[in-house]
């Protein structure tokens, strides 16, 4: 009996040792093959598009164009002329003009207004000097009591009138030309002012819409944002999206605003048109030279009024058409004409027949050709036939 109990105890001890070796096996003894943990499903994206937000190190330096016809700002690639279309430090006078109205205004300023005001200023200065010298106390111990001089009064009245009339003749013509309606075939550009950026629409070219914001300097941008470069334009004038207009084609400019009064101004175009909320202002101009032209909002519109630049890129008409196509728009007239048959007057389905039927129905009421009277259809008009209750208003 003791031998049997000893054998049972030895067998039980060996079994426990075996179980403990299995239960407390070291990690090295475990299989190395593991099942991969599936990642959470990401939002649907196109092929090769990452859902991770770009960091400052991984973010591209410039945005890639969506079309080979477009540069990084969405406009055709071009270079800036340092002498045209932008302010120059130390320059005296107006910017070089690239529109007919601008050229006329430039001539009027340089050849009419500046000479006239120079002559008037010199004449008044000489008269003041002569009066001070001639009628000083040492030369006139007894002052003259003359109060009227007919010749002098006639001269100082007629002289300014003649000068103003001579100036008014060309200025009225320039004012009339600035607000001349655009002819047929003009490219319509709608500029919408916002606090504080511009939105542009091309209603005649497939509804292209562009939003233009000022480009910040390198020390002002957040990680991943695009900073201004010299190729974009001068400081405070460069934008992330330039607008593109054709050269030699009349432009119809329409301005309005979504908040306060702004003003769309390009000095090289001799253009300044207010953008008023709830109102459409219109003018026209024609750009005669390709290039880049910069302007700004010229109406005090809030705290960031100085940060609403305007950048216009003027290109040949063929390049403008390619840009419109690259933006997904269509040139006017590019749609094929309709092949539908237009009924002749008096024929079935023509406009004249429809007008006669409408006139007859207005007097006698509509004619019901059904064999049996039809029930009145249920109206789906707002809340008609619907029980009153919350949530039905405006159905």
pLDDT score, position 393: 37
Are the CB atoms for 257 and 276 separated by under 8 Å?
yes
Task: Give a yes or no: residue 342 inside a domain.
Answer: no
Measured CA to CA, the distance from residue 166 to residue 120 in angstroms comes to 14
Measured CA to CA, the distance from residue 215 to residue 238 in angstroms comes to 6
Are the CB atoms for 291 and 247 separated by under 8 Å?
no
Per-residue pLDDT for 272 more than 60? yes
Task: Give a yes or no: residue 87 inside a domain.
Answer: no
Task: Give a yes or no: residue 301 inside a domain.
Answer: yes
Q: Average pLDDT for residues 152-165, to the nearest whole number?
A: 91
Q: What whole-number percentage of the chain has pLDDT above 70?
A: 67
Looking at per-residue pLDDT, the higher value among 144 and 71 belongs to 144
We report the CATH number of the domain holding residue 255 as 2.60.40.420
Per-residue pLDDT for 224 more than 70? yes
Task: Give a yes or no: residue 33 inside a domain.
Answer: no
Are the CB atoms for 76 and 244 separated by under 8 Å?
yes
Task: Give a yes or no: residue 227 inside a domain.
Answer: yes
pLDDT score, position 40: 35
Q: Average pLDDT for residues 242-255, to the nearest whole number?
A: 93
Per-residue pLDDT for 226 more than 70? yes
Task: Give a yes or no: residue 182 inside a domain.
Answer: no
Q: What is each CA distance from 50 to 47, 57, 72, 108, 206, in whole angstroms? A: 9, 15, 21, 59, 31
Sign of CA pseudo-dihedral 111, 103, 178, 277: negative
pLDDT score, position 223: 86
Task: Give a yes or no: residue 284 inside a domain.
Answer: yes
99 by Cβ neighbours in 10 Å (0-12 / 13-18 / 19+) ranks as: buried
Number of domains forming the structure of the chain = 1
Residue 346 token pair: 């008096």
Whether this prediction's pTM lies above 0.75 is answered by no
Q: Average pLDDT for residues 300-329, to the nearest whole number?
A: 91
> 58-116 pLDDT, tens per residue?
333 333 445 666 776 777 777 888 888 888 888 888 899 999 999 999 999 999 999 99
In 3D space, the residue among 338, 259, 332, 335 whose CA is nearest the CA of residue 301 turns out to be 259
Name the pLDDT band for 354 (thresholds 50, 70, 90). Answer: low
Per-residue pLDDT for 373 more than 80? no
- Pairing, β 187-194 against β 197-202: antiparallel
Q: Which residues contact 129 (CB under 8 A, 6 or more apart)?
A: none
Q: Average pLDDT for residues 360-369, to the nearest whole number?
A: 53
Residue 219 token pair: 């020390």
Task: Give a yes or no: residue 120 inside a domain.
Answer: no
Measured CA to CA, the distance from residue 329 to residue 339 in angstroms comes to 23
Quote the domain boundaries for residue 226.
187-326
Looking at per-residue pLDDT, the higher value among 259 and 57 belongs to 259
């Amino acid at each position: 009996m003791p031998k049997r109990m000893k054998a049972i105890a030895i067998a039980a001890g060996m079994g426990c040792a075996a179980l403990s070796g299995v239960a407390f096996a070291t990690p090295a003894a475990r299989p190395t093959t593991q099942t991969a943990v599936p990642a959470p499903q990401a939002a649907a994206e196109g092929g090769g598009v990452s859902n991770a937000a770009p960091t400052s190190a991984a973010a591209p330096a410039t945005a890639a164009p969506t079309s080979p016809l477009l540069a990084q700002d969405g406009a055709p690639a071009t270079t800036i002329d340092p002498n045209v279309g932008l302010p120059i430090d130390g320059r005296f006078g107006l910017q070089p003009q690239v529109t007919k109205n601008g050229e006329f205004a430039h001539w009027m300023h340089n050849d009419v207004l500046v000479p006239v005001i120079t002559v008037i200023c010199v004449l008044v200065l000489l008269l003041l000097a002569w009066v001070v010298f001639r009628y000083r106390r040492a030369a006139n111990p007894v002052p003259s009591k003359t109060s009227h001089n007919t010749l002098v009064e006639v001269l100082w009245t007629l002289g300014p009138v003649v000068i103003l009339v001579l100036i008014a003749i060309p200025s009225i013509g320039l004012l009339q030309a600035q607000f001349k309606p655009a002819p047929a075939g003009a490219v319509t550009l709608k500029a919408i002012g916002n606090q504080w950026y511009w939105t542009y629409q091309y209603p005649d070219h497939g509804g292209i819409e562009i939003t233009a914001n000022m480009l910040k300097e390198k020390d002002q941008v957040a990680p991943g944002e695009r900073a201004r470069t010299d190729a974009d334009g001068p400081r405070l004038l460069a934008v992330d999206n330039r607008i593109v207009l054709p050269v030699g084609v009349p432009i119809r400019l329409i301005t309005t605003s979504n908040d306060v009064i702004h003003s769309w101004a390009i000095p090289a175009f001799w253009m300044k048109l207010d953008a008023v909320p709830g109102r459409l202002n219109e003018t026209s101009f024609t750009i005669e030279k390709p290039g880049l032209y910069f302007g700004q909002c010229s109406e005090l519109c809030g705290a960031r009024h100085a940060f609403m630049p305007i950048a216009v890129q003027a290109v040949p008409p063929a390049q403008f058409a390619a840009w419109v196509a690259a933006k997904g728009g269509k040139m006017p007239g590019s749609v094929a004409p309709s092949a539908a048959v237009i009924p002749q007057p008096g024929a079935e389905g023509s406009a004249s027949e429809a007008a006669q039927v409408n006139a007859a129905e207005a007097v006698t009421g509509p004619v019901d050709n059904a064999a049996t009277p039809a029930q009145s259809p249920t109206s789906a008009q707002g809340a008609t036939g619907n029980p009153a209750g919350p949530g039905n208003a405006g159905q």
